[in-house]
Amino acid sequence: MSLRLGDTAPNFKAQTTLGEIDLYEYLGDGWGVLFSHPADFTPVCTTELGRTAQLQDEFAKRNAKVLAVSVDPLDSHKSWINDINETQHCDVQYPIIADPEKKVAELYDMIHPNASATHTVRSVFIIGPDKKIKLTLTYPASTGRNFLEILRVLDSLQLTADYQVATPADWKEGEDVIVTGAVKTEDIPARFPKGHKIVKPYLRTTPQPNR
């Protein structure tokens, strides 16, 4: 059964490169980014894990913890990290889950048989502090993910969780946002004192409220 937005993220315990973790305990009251990889010692995955390591401080600024998962065993992961650090000029400090029995992969429906019967696709799950699934992404094995986009989505999710706004196409931190339909036009000045623009009755914008 595939997970959908708003579903509770299944909890699990697993062995990782940083020891055994319980997902909920690891995330605490913060955000989580769980992403899967088809296999160790593969070129695209190596660049992805390296890029994530380079952005560790950016995830930390957003109170988000990352953790990767591959169906290869722990010894393989630990050896692979040396290659990642060497080739991507980084220092992987986040956990990589060893999932040789595919328990996590099955919980999160990461194996798509028509793509591969044994390896996980490139799945991404953003998990909120309430342990609900806030975003899912699925990439084929041949396409590396854009981790700046994952950070952008985190910014949007955190903003829209606190204010009655939505973010438009290609929005980036600091740009104007959309006032949701739940806010009446006459109530906008009180809620968003920085000003607003009415493009259409259903399309009202305002400066980002938390900047």
Contact 168, 152 (CB under 8 A): no
Q: In 3D, which of 176, 38, 201 has the Cα closest to residue 110?
A: 38
Residues 149-186 as b/e (b if ≥16 CB within 10 A, e otherwise) read: ebbbbbbbbbbbeebbbebeeebeeeebbbbeeebeee
- HSE of 77, CA atoms in CB hemisphere, 13 A: 26
In terms of C-beta density within 10 A (0-12 exposed, 13-18 middle, 19 or more buried), how is residue 130 classed? exposed
Of 34, 45, 64, 105, catalytic: 45
Contact 120, 70 (CB under 8 A): yes
If you ran DSSP here, which 8-state letter would residue 9 be given?
P
Residue 90 appears among annotated catalytic residues: no
Other CB atoms within 10 A of residue 104 CB? 23
**What distance in Å separates the CA atoms of residue 163 and residue 118, rounded to the nearest whole number?**
42
Residues known to be catalytic: 45
